[in-house]
Structure 1
Amino acid sequence: MEPPQEFPFPFPAYQIQKQFMKELYNCLESGKLGLFESPTGTGKSLSLICGALKWLIDHEKWKKQELTSIIAEIDNKIRNCKKPSDDWFTMQTEQLELNSQRELLQAKLNALLEYEGEREKFKKIVESKKATQTKMIGKIKRQSTTKFTESNKTKEIDLDISDVEKDLILEDALSNSESSEEEDTEEPLFKNTKIFFCSRTHSQLTQFVHELKRSPYSQNISVVPLSSRQNYCINKSVKRLKHISLINEICLQLQRKKTTVKKEKDLKKLKTTSGCPFVPGDQKLMMAEILTSIQDVEEIAQKGQENNTCPYYGSRKSLQNGQLILVPYNSILHKSTRDNLGIDLKGNVLIIDEAHNLLDAIEGMHSSLITGRNLLHCYSQLSQYQKRFESLFSAKSVLYLSQLNFCLKKILTLFGATTRSHPNDKIDKTVTTKLYKIEEFEMLTEIDTVNIFKLLEFVKISKLAHKLQGFVEQYGNSIKINEQKIKKSGITEFLNSIKNKDTLSQGTASIADIAENNEEQTTNPLMAILNFLECLKSRYIDGRICVLPGATIGQGIIKFLLLNPATNFHDIVKDARSVILAGGTMEPMSEFIDQLFLMAGAMPDRIMTFSCDHVIPKENILSNIVIRGPTGVEFEFSFYNRQDIKLLDELGRALLNICNIVPAGIVVFFPSYSYEDIVFKHLDKSGIASKISVKKHIYREPKLASQVNVTLDQYAHSIKNPQSPCNGSLLFSVVGGKLSEGLNFSDDLGRCIIVIGLPYPNIKSPELQEKMKYLNEHVKPNAGNSFYENSCMKAVNQCIGRSVRHINDYSTVILLDKRYRHKVKVLPQWIQRSLTINDSFGPVIGRDNRFLRAVEWSKENVPEKKFNSRLINQ
């Protein structure tokens, strides 16, 4: 199919949007792997929606026309076969073959027509529900709804089973089906082509749903947002379990009880049943609600509560009839999750939005981290669980539990610990940071004597994770870990355990924070252990084990690192008709081509790239690389130079000058939280901060995610409501932090973006060194150095992209470091077109001052005024 000349769009499209949609259409039609770059603010989401859905509708029409055309051709041939002929036997044989072909094609066409008719049936179901609700309004007004409401609120399962001992015994068999009902595994005659749209978070998918609603396709496309039970479950007793694996297991266990409630009159019996009251419920109605109107996950969950039926299974059953399927990263990029959800990419399209960090995301979700505390807690729980119920276990269960305990015991030896150690015991000083290949790790710990594949299969079949969780909840007070040799009072020990993490080395602390922030690490240690053991099933060449000792055994960390994300992308590339990676900043695209597509088995001629300029006019953006400060001190914020007093003083003078000429909001990005803290304390001590405060309220990015919105609200409020002599705010942020991605500093919130230094990752990190070594050996020479450079510049480009967000926006970008003059080619094209390299600071202030005033005058159409741009050198 040729791309159309015009694409339906909610408003007149920019030329770059038209070009984007046309190239996307061609990519999908040709079945290629596409890399699409469209700067934030250029309407990327709408371009993806309108280009992809236009192709999908055209493709479905073409399939129908093709079937109809082929059937018509066969009909003509059959008619010709019925004509008199001397070779009647050959003609009869040919007619039989044609009739057989026609029968199959007609069956496919009928299935297609039936599929098209399903949407109308679903609409009628929803209309019927609305009509019924209208008729019931009068009755509801005459009746008290209090009792029913209270009944609804308690429609949860009492998970306290009287026969606790029996419920905690390991199972020996498990149904292979994860569905609540028997599923038809027969291959359908017709499978509609689907577009799977994938983004990082549910909030981004919710934003995408809002864009869908304002698109021209909002009324004639079936959209199915897929999500986990954790987001869709409306059974409070199940949802209260914090870990997704436990939620999955208890949900499946409840369904195996085969006790369900469909009618309101059965609600009063819930406390005596063990099944889930929401499964199956009226799943047909749930499917109709999902497929006939565009909704996000929260809206569908609300519909499930209103209809007393499970939205999780409703969304899964809607998958077959859906055209556009919305999924978060994990659901697509993790094969087992993809299979469990019933996602089949064969012949379908996958679009991954916000794909600039895709390689990191794949590595992250297929890596795993455990701590010494995990190992000790898990061993303690398993040992006491086995001791209590061993007489009731089968010999097979005892064998595998012993193998699991053996693995825990041997892994602990890496910290110089035993199963009798306490988490707060000091780690032997001879234990150092080390990296192992998978086979080296298994041989060193002797767990190569255990069949990990069979062990993990046993854990799954026996439902060990759920059984152990139930045991811990039931007997938690009596489950104790080994006492420390010198035990302090409870509160003192607790406070010290918190303080201890501050004594970790810089390389270890960042990973330790991850473990500390995961509240499930201690309450469900087995989950972390199982995830780690699962990673050991990877190919030996693709992973490494990093051992990072902490101050105590409990703080010691063992991490599996996936070095080759392509190994988990191979099936996607092979099965999908087309894969689209889209983002605001996708450069360097060679990284995705070399490390993902080619290593996943794609042929070079199947890969295409597209990059468009920004929609904002050239005169609305001004970019500067600044080599020296106001007094001539060179800006080079290298790791060894960052704390130089002269450099910090010069930075303070530069910020003060910029604050004097830039109106409204300024966002300053630092390489790390620690350096932001060093600079702020120096500015405060030197008095520069108080001088800046005359013009700008200073705000700092908080380390806690819960405080981000409060800081942003305060920052925005002081910009919108300036009190003389203040004319706005200054926000100190961190590259790669909470404010560098996903947030918009549009209009007055970001009239100037300043990036201080180059945020290179720690080159001494053993993880980074191993990654670079792997790339050099398996991709191409010098690929490791390119990866190191790209890691820095991708982060910088993300920060720069926070500034201009629409065609009428304007901003200035200032890069403070002389090393940026060698990085021009890896900056975004829309930055390069107005970029100036400045050897001295004075011209920067003058040029920025003229730029900002000129844009303001053009926007406001006011007479030109003279502004004071005198350079401050003190």
Structure 2
Amino acid sequence: MEPPTEFLFPFPAYQIQKEFMNQLYMCLENGNLGIFESPTGTGKSLSIICGAVKWLLDHENYKKNDLIDKIGVLNMKLIEIEKKKSTDWFNVQVGQLEIQKEKQTLQNKLDLILRYEEKMSKIKQKITANGEKLCHKAKFAKSASTNLIKGSDEKYNDLSDDHLILEDFSDCSDESDEESDRYESTKIYFCSRTHTQLSQFIGELKRSPYTDSVRLIPLASRLSYCINDSVKKLKHLSLVNERCLQLQRKKMTSKDERNVKKSKITTNCPFLPGNQESLKTQILGGIKDVEDIVQIARELETCAYYSSRNTIEDGHVIVVPYNSILHKSTRSSLGINLKGNVLIIDEAHNLLDAIERMHSTEVNGRNLLHSFNQLTEYQNRFESRLSAKNLLLVSQLSFCLKKLIKFLGGTSKSDPEDEVAEKVSRLYTLVEFEVLAEIDTINLFQLMDFVKNSKLIYKLQNYIDKVGSTVTIHETRKKKTGVSGFLKSLQGKDLEAEDNSSNENTKPIENQSNSFMVVMNFFECLKNNSCDGRIFLLPASTLGQAALKFVLLNPAAHFADIVTDARAIILAGGTMEPMSEFRDQLFANAGADPARIHIFSCGHVVPKANIMANVLTRGPSGIDLEFNYQNRENGKLLDEIGRILVNFCNIVPGGIVVFLPSYKYEVTVNKHLEDTGILKKLSGKKHIFRESKLASEVEKTLEEYTKSIKSPQNPRNGSLLFSVIGGKLSEGLNFSDNLGRCIIVIGMPYPNIKSPELQEKIKFLNENTAPNAGNIFYENLCMKAVNQCIGRAIRHANDYATVVLLDKRYAHKSKSLPNWIQNSLFVTDSFGTTVRSMAKFFADKRKKDVSSV
């Protein structure tokens, strides 16, 4: 297909938006791997929607029309054969049969499409006829087994142990390759990092010209979709997942059911199956957000999570969070099939890091001891009822657990609080680790297949639920330690909750049943290629706190199957530089053909005159500004920060956002400004705010910051917000218009070069990508974080702002900045010149604002 000459857009599109849609359309048509950069504020989301959905609808129409045309050509051939008079009747008959066979194959494909279109048309008619009130009329028809619903959070006490016995394990797969008799439409899977970003995308789709043409399916976790209050109150994703699956596993005979009714014990979730067809119809009938679907699900008293999953096959655009796409087992469990479909990853600037985090995990001694004791109790209880093959594999798993406990310095009879000889922190390749841990004789691939196919995790979970607290390690355990981080390592973890400071504010969660899942995730990591990751030994004084951590070094290893399966992949973001990282570390290392890789970068919709960017190399006193680690406590440099901020607060209207390299340095700067009286002086001109480490307080801070700018109190002319690079305010938030008239970045946020994990990553890239790739990666870690901060200010075509980079090292980093900043960038060692330029910039804007009123 050729690109269209016009794209539907909700308003007259800018030229860069037209170019974006055109390039995107052809990238999808040609099956390319695209890296698309469009600065924040340029309508990136709408450009993605209008370009991609236009292609999708054209592609679906083309498939149908192509079949019709081919069938028409074959019909003409049959007519021509009939008209020809030939004595060679045998060859004529054979030719007719061959054409008829080919025609029938095409006709079958066309019939599937036509039936599918008819089905979708009926759904639309049903929604229209009911005036979007179907959910109020449809009532939940409870099945016999779901009438027993009261007290679904009570401890479950099953009537027999049959459900606890492991499934027979077979090395052979039972998957069938039979062709489906239904039409599989082409789909666009759109994913982003947070639920908020996905909601914004859905809102943009509602604004687009395609709101009535596209069927959107938003996928989310059980935690987001669950309407069973007794399950949802567990609050943690892994606990909600376990409880949901547990409720579904309770099967009974009619006799058992009568007994359970009498004892008032729950047997399953009251919202499954429920009236799922009605909810699916509602989802397909119009664009709805997760919250909309949850509300309808409550009215229908049916499960929103499974309804949305079961609607995927009929959707056009499937909206999913990062982890649902990037984690293979999660992708499989959700029924997501990327084969021949399109994947668009928005906010992809942190994609490499996200894949590495998702496939890295940590297990501590407490997890291992819990798991070993649970498995031992289970094996002792059911040993006589397990098949020989299953018993052997359970024994192998116990063997591995004992060896890992020994590796940390304990034994299977140890207590988590037992002191161990504290070892030196070390790192190992996977092969080295397995040999030293003495588990190299075990076939881990077979063992993990056994865990999955025999449903060991769920059987063990049910057993633990049944026997309750009888499975313990030692009565001497008094305090809870070392498991606060394990939830992050679980399969299907919620990426939205991740941030640099989360460990500091997370209370430990003691849940023995989760330990086994953590351990299995660690064993799953050992299946990686030896060169793709490393095992780190994290020693501690007690066995329970000592840990093993797997760190993925090669994200391409878990992206290769996506590159192979998907028709096209689009990585989009406001700042995608350095694009070479995605090209070399992701696509190329995943085995992609270089010819498939397509790069597009556009300018900003904001005119050059609306942006003033400066690299300031010297302060008001002429001191060189270099905020490296050695100079950060330098009193003279801290004094210069105070003088700079006082001058800028006198000039800049509205809001100033100051980004500092770390929370620790933010505290240092504020303490110095307070001790010297500068903070009091600043607060006379601007209302002072500081970013909190606590995620729960960020929204409150933003609300108060916004309010103080919109309603300033004399003599103040706005507000000043101290933030942290890489913190909660440096990504995904808008400081448009008066909220961010000036962005100041103090210093360069280089990560700790002495970190063993970082050193190993640098070494890996130098050895496997290019001789200097690791060093470039280290530099890029810093500049990517800076670029995200810069992008917080300019949000629309009429916006204007200044950007000031305080550090002389930025003078040599201009090429690492976004193109739209480079075009307006000045490097100066004169503070006076910078102040005068800034004063003139805002004076001109005030005049323009007054004249436009």
Q: Distance in 2 between matches of 1:847 and 1:372?
A: 60
Shift of 1:632: 1.1
Counterpart of 2:25 in structure 1 is: 25
Counterpart of 2:706 in structure 1 is: 716
Counterpart of 1:293 in structure 2 is: 286
2:620 is the counterpart of 1:642: no
Counterpart of 2:489 in structure 1 is: none
The structure-2 alpha-carbon separation of the partners of 1:520 and 1:220, relative to structure 1 and needing over 3 Å to count, comes to farther
Cα distance per residue 1:160-181 (max 9 Å; x no partner)? 44336727834334999x9xxx
The structure-2 alpha-carbon separation of the partners of 1:113 and 1:231, relative to structure 1 and needing over 3 Å to count, comes to same
Letter in 2 for 1:336: S
Q: Among 788, 793, 797, which residue is 1:803 paired with?
A: 793
The structure-2 alpha-carbon separation of the partners of 1:513 and 1:452, relative to structure 1 and needing over 3 Å to count, comes to same
Shift of 1:403: 3.3
Count of aligned residue pairs for this structure pair: 828
Cα distance per residue 1:716-742 (max 9 Å; x no partner)? 222222222222221111111111111
Counterpart of 1:784 in structure 2 is: 774
2:188 is the counterpart of 1:187: no
2:689 is the counterpart of 1:699: yes
Shift of 1:824: 0.3
Counterpart of 1:737 in structure 2 is: 727
Counterpart of 1:565 in structure 2 is: 555
* Greater shift in the superposed pair: 809-818 or 219-228: 219-228
Q: Among 668, 689, 693, which residue is 1:678 paired with?
A: 668
* Greater shift in the superposed pair: 456-465 or 643-652: 456-465
The answer on whether the counterparts of 1:155 and 1:270 sit within 8 Å (CA) in structure 2 is no
2:437 is the counterpart of 1:445: yes
Identical counterparts, % of pairs:
56
Counterpart of 2:9 in structure 1 is: 9
Q: Among 165, 172, 180, which residue is 2:167 paired with?
A: 172
Letter in 2 for 1:195: I
Q: 1:537-616 to 2 correspondence within 5 Å? A: 537-550=527-540, 552-616=542-606
Letter in 1 for 2:346: D
2:558 is the counterpart of 1:531: no
Shift of 1:183: 11
Letter in 1 for 2:725: V
The answer on whether the counterparts of 2:186 and 2:341 sit within 8 Å (CA) in structure 1 is yes
Shift of 1:54: 0.9
Shift of 1:442: 0.8
Q: Distance in 2 between matches of 1:135 and 1:686?
A: 65
Shift of 1:285: 1.9
Shift of 1:861: 2.3
The answer on whether the counterparts of 1:630 and 1:650 sit within 8 Å (CA) in structure 2 is yes
Letter in 2 for 1:172: E
Question: Secondary structure of the residue that 1:855 maps to in structure 2?
Answer: helix
Q: Among 340, 364, 368, which residue is 1:371 paired with?
A: 364
The structure-2 alpha-carbon separation of the partners of 1:522 and 1:664, relative to structure 1 and needing over 3 Å to count, comes to farther
Q: Distance in 2 between matches of 1:101 and 1:862?
A: 68
Q: Distance in 2 between matches of 1:529 and 1:792?
A: 34
Counterpart of 1:235 in structure 2 is: 228
Q: Distance in 2 between matches of 1:171 and 1:594?
A: 45
The structure-2 alpha-carbon separation of the partners of 1:682 and 1:288, relative to structure 1 and needing over 3 Å to count, comes to same
Shift of 1:331: 1.4
The answer on whether the counterparts of 1:242 and 1:520 sit within 8 Å (CA) in structure 2 is no
TM-score by length of 1: 0.88
Shift of 1:157: 4.3
Counterpart of 1:113 in structure 2 is: 114
Shift of 1:646: 1.7
The structure-2 alpha-carbon separation of the partners of 1:536 and 1:602, relative to structure 1 and needing over 3 Å to count, comes to same
The answer on whether the counterparts of 2:483 and 2:508 sit within 8 Å (CA) in structure 1 is no
2:466 is the counterpart of 1:465: no
Q: Distance in 2 between matches of 1:122 and 1:608?
A: 38
The structure-2 alpha-carbon separation of the partners of 1:784 and 1:517, relative to structure 1 and needing over 3 Å to count, comes to farther
* Greater shift in the superposed pair: 77-86 or 551-560: 551-560
Q: Among 286, 295, 307, which residue is 1:302 paired with?
A: 295
Question: Secondary structure of the residue that 1:624 maps to in structure 2?
Answer: strand
Q: Distance in 2 between matches of 1:436 and 1:752?
A: 47
Cα distance per residue 1:262-283 (max 9 Å; x no partner)? xxxxx99995662444333333
The structure-2 alpha-carbon separation of the partners of 1:582 and 1:391, relative to structure 1 and needing over 3 Å to count, comes to same
Letter in 1 for 2:757: E
Letter in 2 for 1:122: I
Q: Among 346, 351, 357, which residue is 1:353 paired with?
A: 346
The structure-2 alpha-carbon separation of the partners of 1:386 and 1:101, relative to structure 1 and needing over 3 Å to count, comes to closer
Letter in 1 for 2:355: I
Q: Distance in 2 between matches of 1:714 and 1:222?
A: 39
The answer on whether the counterparts of 1:367 and 1:535 sit within 8 Å (CA) in structure 2 is yes
Counterpart of 1:454 in structure 2 is: 446
Shift of 1:472: 4.7
Q: Distance in 2 between matches of 1:417 and 1:808?
A: 65
2:658 is the counterpart of 1:658: no
Question: Secondary structure of the residue that 2:655 maps to in structure 1?
Answer: strand
Letter in 1 for 2:428: Y
* Greater shift in the superposed pair: 564-573 or 520-529: 520-529
Shift of 1:425: 4.8
The answer on whether the counterparts of 1:250 and 1:466 sit within 8 Å (CA) in structure 2 is no
* Greater shift in the superposed pair: 327-336 or 92-101: 327-336
The structure-2 alpha-carbon separation of the partners of 1:259 and 1:131, relative to structure 1 and needing over 3 Å to count, comes to farther
The answer on whether the counterparts of 1:733 and 1:739 sit within 8 Å (CA) in structure 2 is yes
Q: Distance in 2 between matches of 1:608 and 1:292?
A: 35
Structure 1 alignment gaps of length 5 or more: 146-150, 262-266, 499-508, 864-874
Letter in 1 for 2:6: E
The structure-2 alpha-carbon separation of the partners of 1:843 and 1:158, relative to structure 1 and needing over 3 Å to count, comes to closer
Letter in 1 for 2:64: K
Structure 2 alignment gaps of length 5 or more: 141-145, 255-259, 485-498
* Greater shift in the superposed pair: 579-588 or 113-122: 113-122
Counterpart of 2:53 in structure 1 is: 53
Question: Secondary structure of the residue that 1:9 maps to in structure 2?
Answer: coil
Question: Secondary structure of the residue that 2:789 maps to in structure 1?
Answer: helix
Counterpart of 1:81 in structure 2 is: 81
The answer on whether the counterparts of 1:34 and 1:610 sit within 8 Å (CA) in structure 2 is yes
The answer on whether the counterparts of 1:224 and 1:290 sit within 8 Å (CA) in structure 2 is yes
Question: Secondary structure of the residue that 1:703 maps to in structure 2?
Answer: coil
Counterpart of 1:279 in structure 2 is: 272
Counterpart of 2:193 in structure 1 is: 200
The answer on whether the counterparts of 2:154 and 2:265 sit within 8 Å (CA) in structure 1 is no
